[in-house]
Chain A
Amino acid sequence: MSGLKAMSAQRDIAIVAFHQSDCQASAGATNEVELIMPEIRAVMDQVGLHNAQDVDFVCSGSCDYLQGAAFAFVAGVDALGAVPPIRESHVEMDAAWALYESVLKIRMGHADSALIYGFAKSSPGELPIVLSQQLDPYYLAPLWVDTVSLAAMQARLMLDAGKITEADMAAVVSRSRRNAMNNPHAQLAGDLSVEALLQEAPFVSPLRRHDCSPVSDGASAMIIATVEQAEAWGKPYAILRGIDHRIESHNLCTRDLTDSPSTRRAAEAAGVADGAIDVAELYAPFSHQEIILSRALGLGEGTRVNPSGGVLAGNLMMASGLSRVGEVFQRIVSGEARRGVAHATSGPCLQHNLVAVVEAA
């Protein structure tokens, strides 16, 4: 698939609204529909829309394995009030890919506006074990190799190769926790020094618990539209300049896990290098992965990385990728940044990566 880059002559896409829930360690008895509804209401209110009838297309991202039931995602549609019938779709992926599908829908001229949402309640299950079932069904899934262990082996490859130090990893966590102090939706925030973090005991060695994103419940939602539609709504918006995604082999040992070639290729296709990057929001569920991604994206001193705290401060499965785009959108609309990069990931050890470029209108 070729990158959807700078197709400005056709239909420029505007991000018009975004909202994310708090990242909660446990949402308790609140169900998925109840997690989604406030987010949809929030983005509708930002634009001044009444309900899902007021957009041309709706697309969601979630994972049935987290609810433990086939077609569990269908219940999420209850949050929309889908009567009379609406045009609706779903990806069994992070909602960043629901954004991608919505972009295609608008680019093809089949819609002028779209509502996107992602949600998950990860707390009831044992998330690292649930995620082991996304692996090779004959060689790995029967062993229940959990995602934390896979990431730990990736971190050791980097440490052994001298590409990072444990202090580099702790520095990522320290910055995340500090940035999260300004993020009211964050689950983990605080002023922690690298030295203090390095004093902590190993979890799945070489990872410490703070190197891993927490398990969180919640949802996020976004509204995008053609620039013409956004102008008609009369609300501030940002331009989604490019978006692309690439995937690597399911065989972890054939990949170079100390690098992210799929991120680099997606970044090239999305046009990351076409201008300065003020801000980047990266979906790095483990501290060392933020370093891999920053390098693959070629981010330098001039870029603020994960000013929200990123997912180390709260990780909404199936929504965190969409939220990365939303965080960049908010910083651009507020005037804090002119141009930003958002990244989403899926699969073990950064297997599948999506890169989006968002610019001031």
Chain B
Amino acid sequence: MSPTEVLSEAFELGFTYTRSTGPVVGRFLTGLRDRRIEGVRASDGRVIVPPMEYDSDTAAALDDFVEVGQQGEIVSWCWVSEPRRAHPLQQPFAWAMIKLDGADVAMIHCVSAASESQLATGARVKVRWAEETRGHIKDIACFELAEVTQ
């Protein structure tokens, strides 16, 4: 019997379309590419970062953009001692709700720290930018403690 010829073809499962992120999410992501962080002012005046397209309470369309700081304060956090394969950091790290200077609503991102004992609610953190920014939430590689030399 002759050896069987196995037919094969590369296959990539993917979505073959692109989608516009629009004037609010798109503006935020473009800002990240330029290493700026912008939020939006809600109907009640609070600054929400990342910006939302519509106000949760009034449903008003939001377009009053405000640049906020690249440092902030931890509002809540948890310690991931065993990172999952999908997680952005593969060393033990924290997820945190971080209220950036000039913002009224926290944002969720990861915090790189050497150990759980370095972290606390109220701790100051600062952005660590990715080496290459491309207009994506992961342009913020992570946050790190602002007042600890690692």
Contact = CB atoms under 8 A, between A and B. Distances in A.
Interface of A: 126, 128-129, 132, 138-140, 142-146, 149-150, 152-157, 160, 202-207, 249, 251-254
B52 A251 contact: yes
A156 B121 contact: yes
Contact of B88 (A128, A143, A155): A143
Interface stretch (B4-12, B72-80, B123-131): B72-80
B: interface residue count bin:
20 to 34
Contacts, number: 90
A272 to B, nearest CB: 24
B56 interface: yes
A65 to B, nearest CB: 14
B127 to A, nearest CB: 14
B110 A207 contact: no
Contacts of A156: 76-78, 121
B97 A253 contact: yes
A276 B109 CA distance: 44
A151 to B, nearest CB: 8
Contacts of A129: 84, 86
Nearest to A152: B78
B109 A143 contact: yes
Contact of B136 (A142, A205, A251): A142
B25 to A, nearest CB: 5
Given A138-B21, A251-B56, A253-B75, 17 more contacts: A126-B86, A129-B84, A138-B137, A140-B108, A140-B137, A142-B138, A143-B108, A146-B84, A149-B78, A153-B76, A153-B78, A160-B76, A202-B79, A207-B78, A252-B108, A254-B52, A254-B105
A140 B137 CA distance: 8
Interface in B59-118: 75-81, 84, 86-88, 95-97, 105-110, 116
A144 B84 contact: yes
30 contacts: A126-B84, A129-B84, A138-B21, A138-B25, A138-B29, A139-B108, A139-B137, A140-B108, A142-B136, A143-B137, A144-B84, A144-B87, A145-B108, A152-B78, A153-B95, A156-B78, A156-B121, A157-B75, A202-B79, A204-B81, A205-B81, A249-B56, A251-B52, A251-B56, A251-B105, A252-B97, A252-B108, A253-B105, A253-B107, A253-B108
Contacts of A146: 84, 86-87
